[in-house]
Amino acid sequence: MPDSGFLALFLVGLLGGTHCVGMCGGIVGALSMGASARWSMHLAYNGGRILSYAAAGAIAGAVGAAGVGLAGQFPVRLVLYFVANLMLVALGLYLLGVTRALAFTEQAGQALWRRLQPLTRRFLPARSVAQAFPLGLLWGWLPCGLVYSALATALTAGSVERGALMMLAFGLGTLPNLLLAGIVLGRLNQFVRHPVVRTLSGLLVLGFGIYGFFGLMRLSGTI
């Protein structure tokens, strides 16, 4: 995956912010209530959440690299690139509001989440950084179509490090919406939901995916 994938995933995280607030906004809002050090609480929660994204990205990068290495076959790499760019196209269409087909991916993580969700109760209500950070670590594994689609892109990272960095870029994109939820989210939410902003960003991410398909055809020797 070229370095443009980092920017694409950052934009997906940033412009998909309303989806993120819908998934995590309740907990983020709770962190803003009655906490004297609410900024540190938000930072701890989101730091744990993004760390989990990076860990998942590292796993995806390792799986992708191992698949190519074990198979030793060029077509395996082509398949991974195809899936990654297909997901970028799907994410671009999601930002454009054309489809909500990514929702089906959330079903894939339900089995894991059923095991992890009971653990979150140990840290609720979170009243300290020591509770907010592990809560974020656990909540980072909440089934989410945007996260899983980004992970599909991280499969092509080629290494553990690049996989982690790709998901770190995605996580940083989600940060403004969730970090500011309940504080100044209104203005930011209006910005990311503005039709012009979402259209331009969706087209940009869609363009990354289409450009990747042309690169894939060159790689396969079809053009």
Q: What is the pLDDT of residues 30-60, one digit of tens each?
A: 665 544 456 788 889 999 999 999 999 999 9
d(Cα 167, Cα 112) in Å, to the nearest integer? 19
Question: Between residues 198 and 87, which one has the greater pLDDT?
Answer: 87
Q: What is the pLDDT of residues 9-25, one digit of tens each?
A: 888 788 766 556 555 65
Question: Buried b vs exposed e over 40-61: b needs ≥16 C-beta within 10 Å?
Answer: ebbbbbbbbbbbbbbbbbbbbb
Number of domains composing the chain: 1
What's the predicted TM-score (pTM) here? 0.78
Q: Pick the closest to residue 87 from 2, 25, 12, 17 (CA basis).
A: 12
**Structural domain for 124, as ranges:** 4-220
The better pLDDT of the pair 170, 156 is held by 170
Mean pLDDT computed over 205-218: 72
Q: What is the pLDDT of residues 78-119, one digit of tens each?
A: 777 787 778 778 777 877 777 666 666 667 778 888 999 899
Q: How far is CA 199 from the centre of its chain?
A: 19
